Amino acid sequence: MEKIIEFATLPSTNLYLKENYHQLPNKTVIVTNHQTAGRGRLSRVWEDSDDLLFSVLLKEQLPHNIANLSLLTAASLYKTLNKIVNNVTIKWPNDILADGKKLSGILLESVVVGEQVDCIIIGVGINVNTIKMNPSIVRKATSIYLETNHKIDKKTLLKSFLKEFVKDYRLYCAGKSDYLQICKLHSSVIGKQVNVMINNQQKKALVKDILDNGNILLLVDDQQIQLHSGEITLTELY
């Protein structure tokens, strides 16, 4: 990456890049030990303890299908975390699970000026060395330490991810990436019954596939439909 900038505390690594991307080079990475206003998708608060929290800035050669970058990032995270933790899966579109519990999350945002995308910001949170989860999420979340009983160096983990991501992004821009195959092969939702909100109504659905455009293919009330975003909830633990 072009530049890695570390902070002890920030309101949000994504927010920092939104406010400062003009003067920062392409592929800048912002890292912090603690976020005071961290959030995930759907404006959920990201509760960090001893986590790896960072955001990547993309300003050049932006792909046409921006939404698929969540899946690309998920594939890079899978490759990184699967070397350390057992039973890693990808929950469309932006979570990495270990034994069915959330280990990592992705928040992708873009800055649009007029009708032009000025930059893309990929925020990532990985539960790394957290020893005890908040009781409110203990059944839904885990950490590398809780899965392996070993603490790991967060800087080494970041370098490992960035190595995978840079390689995957280069292939993605060239139309040669295998990220979709990875997201399908290691999906936690394909073939599963899920709950999903459609037209403000909660429906039960069967996940059939992840399509080339990044959409998820669902069977709902005997009809196949596609979703390009939204929250799906496994009818199991997570």
Could you give all domains of the chain from N- to C-terminal order, each with its CATH number?
3-185 (3.30.930.10), 193-234 (2.30.30.100)
pLDDT of amino acid 235:
60
The candidate with the shortest Cα–Cα distance to 77, out of 44, 99, 48, 106, is 106
147-192 pLDDT per residue, tens: 999 999 999 999 999 999 999 999 998 888 899 999 999 999 999 9
pLDDT of amino acid 139:
86
Indicate if the pLDDT at residue 114 is higher than 80: yes
Determine the Cα–Cα distance for residues 62 and 64; give it in Å rounded to an integer: 7
Six-digit token string for 63: 């792909």
For residues 77 and 98, the answer to whether their CB atoms sit within 8 Å is no
The sheet carrying 28-35 orders its strands as: 3-10, 28-35, 52-58, 116-126, 101-113, 95-98, 88-91
What average pLDDT does the chain have? 89
Six-digit token string for 184: 């399908």
Helices (H), 35-177: 68-81, 144-148, 154-173
pLDDT of amino acid 45:
46
For residue 159, the tally of other CB atoms under 10 A from its CB is: 13
